[in-house]
Structure 1
Amino acid sequence: MVKTAKKNKIHEQLTPKTVVIKIAKWFLILFFGIYTLFPLVWLFVTSLKTNAEYFDNPFSLPAVIQFQNYVNAFSQANLGRMIINSITVSVIATFINIMAAAMASYAISRFQFKGKEAIFAMFSAGVMVPLNALMVPYFTIFSRAGLLDSLNSLRILYAAIGLPMSVFIVRGFMDSFPREIEEAAYVDGCGFYGRFLRIVLPLTKTGLVTAATFQFLTCWNEFVYANLLTSSPATKTIQIGIRYFTNQFTTDYVSMYAAIVIAIIPSIIGYMLFQEQIISGLTSGAVKG
């Protein structure tokens, strides 16, 4: 009986319809996989070529691997300092953003007061506002505050513009967090700050990590406001450094591509480290029950 059931199952799986579906499924997976990975592979291979090889045939392999392009990327554009600037800006802005989003989400989720949903709607509406439309107001504000050409301006700005998305993500996890756990902690004598710091934050860390990852990637890859609010080499970020390989007459493409590879490595590493939390966070926030 068991063998017959297995044969019937195999026979059902090998019907023409299922075969066509499987072929189509794997074709789509391979197509989108190649579509996604090919630009990255091409970028890395091109960063190991000479400019002459690049202009002769952009899709050829390098005759001799040119690791000197990466040395040039650091020496010509001072990428080391810019990487440190990007790391400090992204980490500090992400920390401020997540703490503010966690407190705002907790208040909106747990307390009952007039205008609660209106406040949340205002936060959510911020996701739809194009950031480039606010360049003049932001520039005026930081100019009058005396924060132009300062990394603090980027830290404050990035922490603020990421709040709508972070609050939108974290609030969903706060809503699904059981109130009974907080009530039990309250009965045991745990105060407000103790409940928030020792219970709520650790048990909603999946949502916090999800929001923090998106916030960090946004800060790391942001170009427009980094170019608008900073001017001296000491305050430039890695995204601005990529421009240094282009001038009025020539462009060192291979060194620029090497700088781009260096710039995207932290994003890839960050996603690889937290991909499980990101995926589980997005799927957990998508289903309520």
Structure 2
Amino acid sequence: MKNVLMHKVDFKTKAGKVLMWIVLIFFLFYTLMPMVWLVISSLKTNTELMGSPFSLPSKLRFENYANAFKVSGLGILFLNSIIVSLGATFLNIMIASMASFVLSRFEFRFREAIFSLLVIGILVPINSLMVPYVKIINKLGIYDTRFALILVYSAISIPISTFIIRGFMKTIPVELEEAGTIDGCNFYQRFFKIIFPLSRTGIVTAATLQFLYCWNEFIYSMLLTSSQSVRTIQVGIRYFSNQFTTDYTSMYAAIVISIIPSLIGYITFQEQIISGLTSGAVKG
């Protein structure tokens, strides 16, 4: 009887593992299939794409990637996205880390209320702020500039960045900061030499999420720019498809190129992102 029960338990365990792998493989296929199809389609001719969308190309057309740069001016769009994403990420992290330092290391009245009010911004739909942001940018006279995008992107993600970084800063022992004070560190030295370096896991997590958001953002980039010289790559691809409606393969090549930085960024900092979201973000 005991052997029969153990056999049933073992069978259920194996069946559960098989079911788990089936589900995981299904979602893997579901996630990767569009990307694989996109890459294959970018290496076809337009005739092959229209005639047989799911077949392999008769010849790999890498010239589609060269055409994506030549025809649509993808180079300047790519450069704009890099400048805006890095600039917004730097500004966002500096502001969020300074706010997190004050909200995690100092005791003062209404501290938790201020933090709660700030974190509520995570729940506000980004698209609901379009009109205020556009009006503010126009009032400042910086419409159709990279600085406008940097300013808006950095402001949008301050709540989530502060939430993540503050969780890590609260875990740093107070004794380290007290030792720095005894050694003569002032307010800024305690932040830049002690707290900021020790919070790098949370900072890297917030910075990676911020960069990915800036790189892939479309709505505000479309609203706050009107000339190709300052457009980001996501908006540029939209205009590419409107203007060159028959050259789908080059457009797909441009999309593949636009995805590469996001993949590189996530793969590079994958461990920091996972550890940051599962540890520091839930503390405090």
Superposition TM-score tier, normalisation by shorter sequence: over 0.9
Distance 1:19 1:45, change over 3 A: same
TM-score (normalised: structure 2): 0.94
User: In 2, Cα distance between the equivalents of 1:106 and 1:200?
Assistant: 8
Question: 1:247: Cα distance to partner?
Answer: 2.9
Aligned equivalent of 2:64: 69
Aligned equivalent of 1:127: 122
Distance 1:249 1:230, change over 3 A: closer
Moved more, 26-35 or 77-86: 26-35
User: In 2, Cα distance between the equivalents of 1:127 and 1:75?
Assistant: 40
Question: 1:249: Cα distance to partner?
Answer: 8.4
Question: 1:235: Cα distance to partner?
Answer: 0.6
Aligned equivalent of 2:14: 19
Distance 1:171 1:147, change over 3 A: same
Question: 1:240: Cα distance to partner?
Answer: 1.1
Aligned equivalent of 1:5: none
Distance 1:22 1:130, change over 3 A: same
Q: How does 1:249-288 map to 2 (within 5 A)?
A: 250-285=245-280, 288=283
Give 5+ residue unaligned stretches, structure 2: none
Residues 102, 167 of structure 1: 8 Å contact kept: yes
User: In 2, Cα distance between the equivalents of 1:145 and 1:12?
Assistant: 73
- 3-state secondary structure, aligned to 2:104: helix
Match of 1:191 among 178, 186, 194: 186
Aligned equivalent of 1:174: 169
Partner deviation per Cα, 1:191-220 (whole Å, 9 max, x = no partner): 221111011111110000000000000100
Give 5+ residue unaligned stretches, structure 1: 1-7
Question: 1:13: Cα distance to partner?
Answer: 11
Establish whether residue 105 from structure 1 lines up as the match of residue 103 from structure 2: no
Match of 1:57 among 41, 45, 52: 52
Moved more, 203-212 or 121-130: 121-130
Q: How does 1:33-48 map to 2 (within 5 A)?
A: 33-48=28-43
User: In 2, Cα distance between the equivalents of 1:185 and 1:13?
Assistant: 62
Distance 1:248 1:235, change over 3 A: closer
Q: Percent identity?
A: 58
Moved more, 74-83 or 243-252: 243-252
Question: 1:267: Cα distance to partner?
Answer: 0.3
Establish whether residue 161 from structure 1 lines up as the match of residue 156 from structure 2: yes
Match of 2:89 among 85, 90, 94: 94
Please tell me the residue identity of whatever aligns with 1:58: P
Residues 245, 251 of structure 1: 8 Å contact kept: no
Distance 1:283 1:87, change over 3 A: same
Partner deviation per Cα, 1:74-107 (whole Å, 9 max, x = no partner): 1111010111111011001100100100000111
TM-score (normalised: structure 1): 0.92
User: In 1, Cα distance between the equivalents of 2:219 and 2:125?
Assistant: 12
Residues 245, 252 of structure 1: 8 Å contact kept: no
Residues 245, 255 of structure 1: 8 Å contact kept: no
Establish whether residue 136 from structure 1 lines up as the match of residue 136 from structure 2: no
**Paired positions, count:** 280
User: In 2, Cα distance between the equivalents of 1:180 and 1:235?
Assistant: 48
User: In 2, Cα distance between the equivalents of 1:97 and 1:162?
Assistant: 7
Distance 1:191 1:250, change over 3 A: closer
Establish whether residue 233 from structure 1 lines up as the match of residue 228 from structure 2: yes
Distance 1:170 1:114, change over 3 A: same
Establish whether residue 29 from structure 1 lines up as the match of residue 29 from structure 2: no
Please tell me the residue identity of whatever aligns with 2:145: S
**CA RMSD after TM alignment:** 1.9
